[in-house]
Structure 1
């Protein structure tokens, strides 16, 4: 399967990971598009989600190029792809945690003013820190061919760099570990606060209006709060496992199954966010369905007009044809 210090990426693995990149590309684009189309849905959390989607979109494109090429040595495009994916992937970690921090301050601390004031800090950290790290890695000649030992065809930290472990931590892994710890804690605190608030509100429901309470929106939000850290960990854990196996020198890191899971996990964040925050969000899902139905109706009307125009005689317009048909009907009567 692999010879020496190199992991072979099979064609089947390439196809699967490229499909995952395509889904993430479409999902991230859809999140950005829905935000641009409907101004009334432009809340601050969704704006933060758009910034996360920009990072995921960039990751999907750069990873797709790397998987398609499957680099076998250092080259300028290898360094460029490795730098872009390093920046985008690290930025995605920061924006994922930033959204959790915003929701925690907004919901648990009940301070929208403080939460909104953090947005500028989120920008400085989520774009600035990855950019500084990536520029430093490129200038010090640390980004390049990694023999797919902790990737799936794309370039990252040079596998022959003597301090490669340090740079693997700085360019992604240490932020990934921090996200593993931070996200579950923040979302557990948010869920706990919401459950306490619901319990307090339930004491007053008997004296409120007689309509039955609806739990659909709150239950959906509760499921999302549970799924966000779980999905993040499930998607990212495979790259962490391969990194640990590399540290201990285990050949298990070259397993085709593990390599495939790593490729899918690293490239599926945009698709997962789209499923949770677009397809599973009723107002946006309803508008998308309406827009698609409208487009289908317009296409059907266009085809009908096109067919009608083909039924006309040469040099005859629709009005003339209608007058002739009316004249023939009058003659027959």
Structure 2
């Protein structure tokens, strides 16, 4: 399982983590694409989500390259991959917290002006701090081969560096720990404020307590609960391996733990896509309509292409069958 201070990454683990990277690449791209093609859905929180998706996209791509290469020694592409993934992963932490801070200021503090004014600060912190840390790590030769001790084939902090624990904290772990605390607190405060506001409104409109919450309200409430939970579930395996490294335990080299770590670190983009695209009714409806239109266009193209064949025996029957299929598709949409 391990050879000295090196965690072996098996082929099956590579396949699973590469698949996870692919899902995140697809999910992050879909979030960005929906923001670009539908201007009326470009809200401020969704714009912040796009910035987060750019980080997740870059992170998933760099992790995919690292898992595919399964580095076993220092090299130029190892350092480059480690630098990109360090920057993108740290940036992802900051943007995730930035979205929570924006929602807190906007909803709890009831100040859209203040919330919107925070965007410049978010950019300076979420891009600037990771860039400074990563640049310092590369210049001081701290980024490189880490023997998969707290990774899954990719490069991160050079394991041979005497102060590698400090640099692991600076390049990710300390921000991860802060996110574990900040995200649940902010989203709990947001949920509490919403519930208090709803209860206060019910006093003036007695009909509200007798009416069930709308589907959209229930879904929004569920999202506020799931966002920090999903973040922690995905990231906790990386934290567990880091703690086991500090403790000197060989349990950090367990294939199950290594696989969970690989999936958790690379699946954030896909999780965000599910939460903010597939579980968001207006965007989901537009995606379905777009897919249906594309299918209908292909069917009409094929229908035109097959038109000359309708003069053959049985052509009328085929035509009626196509028309019936089109009618059913239109009825379903």
Q: Same fold (TM over 0.5)?
A: yes
The alpha carbon displacement at 1:308 in A equals 2.4
- Structure 2 residue matching 1:293: 3-state secondary structure: helix
Correspondence list, 1:216-235, <5 A = 216-235=215-234
Q: Deviations over 1:210-264 (max 9, x none)?
A: x956521111111000000000000000000000100111000000000000000
Greater gyration radius: 1
Alignment partner, residue 121 of structure 2: 121
Alignment partner, residue 288 of structure 2: 289
Q: Deviations over 1:13-63 (max 9, x none)?
A: 000000000000000000000000111110000000000000000011000
Question: C-alpha separation between the residues in 2 aligned to 1:96 and 1:308?
Answer: 54
Alignment partner, residue 252 of structure 1: 251
Question: C-alpha separation between the residues in 2 aligned to 1:303 and 1:142?
Answer: 58
Question: C-alpha separation between the residues in 2 aligned to 1:25 and 1:281?
Answer: 19
Alignment partner, residue 325 of structure 1: none
The alpha carbon displacement at 1:205 in A equals 2.3
Question: C-alpha separation between the residues in 1 aligned to 2:19 and 2:207?
Answer: 54
Alignment partner, residue 314 of structure 2: none
Alignment partner, residue 31 of structure 2: 31
Alignment partner, residue 145 of structure 2: 145
Alignment partner of 1:159 is 2:162: no
- When the two chains are superposed, the root-mean-square deviation of aligned CA atoms in Å is 1.5
Alignment partner, residue 321 of structure 1: none
Question: C-alpha separation between the residues in 2 aligned to 1:206 and 1:136?
Answer: 60
Alignment partner, residue 277 of structure 1: 276
Question: C-alpha separation between the residues in 2 aligned to 1:18 and 1:309?
Answer: 46
Q: Deviations over 1:64-113 (max 9, x none)?
A: 00000100100010000000000000000000000000000000000000
Q: Which runs of 5+ in 1 are unaligned?
A: 313-333
Alignment partner, residue 323 of structure 2: none
Question: C-alpha separation between the residues in 1 aligned to 2:223 and 2:204?
Answer: 26
Alignment partner, residue 317 of structure 2: none
Q: Which runs of 5+ in 2 are unaligned?
A: 312-333
Range with bigger deviation, 303-312 or 79-88: 303-312
Alignment partner, residue 75 of structure 2: 75
Length, aligned pairs only:
311
Correspondence list, 1:43-54, <5 A = 43-54=43-54
Correspondence list, 1:171-320, <5 A = 171-206=171-206, 214-308=213-307
Output the TM-score relative to the length of structure 2. 0.91
Question: C-alpha separation between the residues in 1 aligned to 2:249 and 2:310?
Answer: 72
- Structure 1 residue matching 2:206: 3-state secondary structure: helix
Question: C-alpha separation between the residues in 1 aligned to 2:175 and 2:232?
Answer: 13
Question: C-alpha separation between the residues in 2 aligned to 1:207 and 1:3?
Answer: 68
The alpha carbon displacement at 1:310 in A equals 6.8
The alpha carbon displacement at 1:206 in A equals 3.2
Output the TM-score relative to the length of structure 1. 0.91
The alpha carbon displacement at 1:155 in A equals 0.2
- Structure 2 residue matching 1:203: 3-state secondary structure: helix
Question: C-alpha separation between the residues in 2 aligned to 1:57 and 1:309?
Answer: 47
Q: Deviations over 1:138-157 (max 9, x none)?
A: 00001100000000000000
Alignment partner, residue 323 of structure 1: none
